[in-house]
Structure 1
Amino acid sequence: MTVHDLARALPEIPALRERCRAYAMLDAILCPEWEDRYYSFDAKWSAGEEMASMRTGTGDLWSIVFSAAGAFVRGFDHEAPMSPAGNGGRLWPGLVESVPPEFADSVDEPAFSYDGVLEATVCLWRRTGDDRWQAGDIEFPPGDDPDGATNLFETLVDGSYHEFAEDYYERPVDADAVRAILDLRPLTTDLVKRLNPDLALVDLAADLAEIGYPRQ
């Protein structure tokens, strides 16, 4: 999969936003220690913007900025052939040249950059009102995953959080409870206990506020 395949596979902006919120809520329940989580969501990241993010802890990451303009996605696979590290410190040709001006602030965002260069091997966007996701005109290097799109986004695209969680957290995870949160059902004490018996609903107050997830 490349960014062009990813653009065809991602759901529309509202559905993607809700999936990101659900992933972040699930991680908050399964992993109270924020620094050890994969998925996060900040409903008040900046004025008029929300941000979903993923980080593996080994250098791979992505962020999605949701705003009135639409959504801007960038992903960084540090071992991908398209990494700036293997391209003289420069972004791969075509990656960001056609990003619309509505998302220029995200391209230039210092939090997404390293040494002044956007940390990105994947970049795509969708403006409010667009009928599809878009990406730049890119000539990809050889390989099955040249930009890291599969490595970075496969779990987000196919909704396979349950399989991810059992593998990453190395324990059984209640599949019905996961589905309930993926459906954005209001968080209850029962749902929390089914996923993490050592956690109480009150312990998640700060996460609920940050993610903007509904509660009973």
Structure 2
Amino acid sequence: MTVHDVARVLPDVPALRNLCRSMAMVEAVLNPVGERFHSFNPTWSATEELASMRNGSGDEFDIVFPPAGAYVRGFDHESPFSPYHHDDVPRTWPGVVDSVPPIFQRYVHEPAFTDENGTPVVTACLWREAEADHWQAGQIDFPDGHPDPDGSTWLFELLVDPTPEAFQAFGEDYYETTIAIDAVRHVYDLRPLGRALITSLNPTASVEDVAQEAAAIGYPLVRELSLTTD
């Protein structure tokens, strides 16, 4: 799979935003006070939300949700597309960000997405304008014989398979625990989070801590818990 394959199957912008928020919320219940794989910041700026993935080994993605649509940046540090695999001067792989339209161009050079020298830290990039009917990616010559040249296969696997079952499989492997599928379905449906749901996902979690995380993520809470975060 390459970024072009991802572009054909990625959910539309509203559905992707909801998916990212749901994944972040399930992880916030599983690990309310520790480092997490997925996160969601509804107040990244006054007009932008940010979904992120960090695996702790230098691989990551970020999805910016501005009013104009969405911009996706992925980085696989082992990818042959890494800016740090070429000569002595880091440079992005030809085509990866060359076609990013002006409306999203500032994200290519956003300090949070570049290194200390201003080089975009990216191996895969997609974007979709709010009124568009499909995702776009640059024109790229992919090397022959590489099963995952830009890291898209694994970076975006939970985005191109937006099912509770896919997240359950990931979470059970990553957190080494059993995860109740009905609870994951509840969160993927964006139904309000309550005590029983929190306990079914993580019996040891502090309900108050999870409620605070939900408020920070922008995930709906039942009225009882909403009152504790006011």
Contact 2:76 2:155 (8 Å CA) reproduced: yes
Q: Which residue of 2 aligns with 1:10?
A: 10
What is the percentage of aligned positions where both structures have the same residue? Answer: 55
Q: Which residue of 2 aligns with 1:145?
A: 148
1:204-215 to 2 correspondences below 5 Å: 204-215=210-221
The two structures have a TM-score, normalised by structure 2, of 0.91
Q: Which residue of 2 aligns with 1:100?
A: 101
State which of 97, 118, 121 in structure 1 corresponds to 2:120: 118
State which of 135, 152, 173 in structure 2 corresponds to 1:167: 173
CA distance in 2, matches of 1:44, 1:199: 25
Q: Which residue of 1 aligns with 2:69?
A: 70
Q: Which residue of 1 aligns with 2:131?
A: 129
Q: Which residue of 2 aligns with 1:201?
A: 207
Q: Which amino acid aligns with 2:26?
A: L
RMSD of aligned residue pairs (Cα, Å): 1.0
Q: 1:81 to 1:178 in 2, by over 3 A?
A: same
How many pairs does the alignment contain? 215
Contact 1:82 1:141 (8 Å CA) reproduced: no
Q: Which amino acid aligns with 1:129?
A: E
The two structures have a TM-score, normalised by structure 1, of 0.97
Greater strand fraction, Structure 1 or Structure 2: 1
- SS of equivalent to 1:64: strand
CA distance in 1, matches of 2:101, 2:46: 20
Contact 2:11 2:159 (8 Å CA) reproduced: no
What stretches of structure 1 move > 2 A for 4+ residues in a row?
none
CA distance in 2, matches of 1:87, 1:46: 34
- SS of equivalent to 1:117: coil
Q: Which amino acid aligns with 1:39?
A: H
User: Structure 1: which 5+ residue stretches go unaligned?
Assistant: none
* Greater Rg over alpha carbons, structure: 2
Q: Which residue of 2 aligns with 1:24?
A: 24
Give the C-alpha shift of residue 116 in structure 1.
1.0
